[in-house]
Structure 1
Amino acid sequence: MSTNLSVTTEDYLKSIYELNEYKGFATLADISQILGTARQTVYDEIKILLDKNFVKRKDRGKYSLTDGGEREANLFLRKHRVAEILLWKGLNMKWSKLDDQAMGIEHGMTEEIISAACKKFNCEKCPHGNPIPNSNGDVFLPADLKYKELEVGKRYFLNRVIFETPDILKFLEENSLLPNVIVLKDNNQNELMMSDDRRIGIPDYVLDALRFRK
């Protein structure tokens, strides 16, 4: 079970975790942009997280989570992702809005609420395809593929969206690029071919947020 972390700490750990999945590290500027917080405020909070051994420096100006920090991040992601499931399956909210709307209720998600939700709905994955950590903060990450690892001429399933921002999710929803959709990589020009023969050009920042499986 999680220790009693502040709302601020949970938000920072989640942001750093997701940035590390997306680009391999988190910077003060990255965190500031995601959380809408002044850079000096981010700097002060990072110092606190370093002292608590939740965060470590990877390189100058680059941060990642310690094992303890990652465990706490996973426990919070459990709350966040089950909140997304409740909003999606329980309230039929728009797929591209789930991440943003879950931020309004995630901190109040108790283990009792999570257990009840998972009895009613399948809590294996969130609506964006990411696995739900268990109540100990353990999570099994799939061995999926980045776009650059896909072979030209082969079909793949879109497996998950590892970095969920409003603009990325809006782009994916507008182009029907949701988890479990089958796509074909037929060139190396940042494009994917859909099953209905639509060819979709995808910006780098969106492609970097996608993971695929065979």
Structure 2
Amino acid sequence: MKNGKIVSPKAHPNLYNQLEKCKDYLGKDQYKVEKVKITRNEMPLAPGIGGILGNVGKIGKGIDIIRQGIGAVTVGKSAIEAINSARSVEASKRVRAVNPKDLLAQQGLVTGEVEGAPPVDAGKQGKHQEGHRNNEQSTEDKSTWIDGENGVADTQEAWEKGRWADGREGTVKEYESDRVVGSDGVTTEIVVHIDGKGNIHGYPKIPKEVRRKLNELK
């Protein structure tokens, strides 16, 4: 339901597709689906909202009923929240765990299995891994992790333990790891960015002039 109006599958196919994909993840206490048989001169009604295509009602504490009639379904607020939650569960299943020296994929989400940390964007992280195509194709002198490592776990740890960078609160964190993480053999500080989707990527904070020299030596 959008602004109190019933929406049709033709107008909002994505909503119906998401309902179908996420139905197995929604708990019984979150919503219930009922098939409504529409017969001539009959229609399901809800206070203030009605129509031959369906409506949303309540049964018990906080349970939305998604009543499916002929070609339409209306969805209550808590069902939408449940769908969003199910999307997160579905997305988390697509996050692949990697070891420190694994060559990252060109895209997708990965994790170093640091508890509570957001997933890492493999494509963006790959720009800072030696031997990765995204690093080799970059026109910039990218900061890279030590010994060709992908830095996924280091990035997640830095996000969890780091502090907001000055003037970049909400988007960038910095973390002093107290161990060498950069390919220059010296850098110990890590920078982590978060994007609008809540995914992160990070790299050692190697000074630009040092990166330039390292690039000249390759």
Q: TM-score range by the shorter chain?
A: under 0.3
Q: Greater share of strand residues, 1 or 2?
A: 2
In the superposition, the TM-score normalised over structure 2's length comes to: 0.25
In the superposition, the TM-score normalised over structure 1's length comes to: 0.25
Q: Greater share of helix residues, 1 or 2?
A: 1
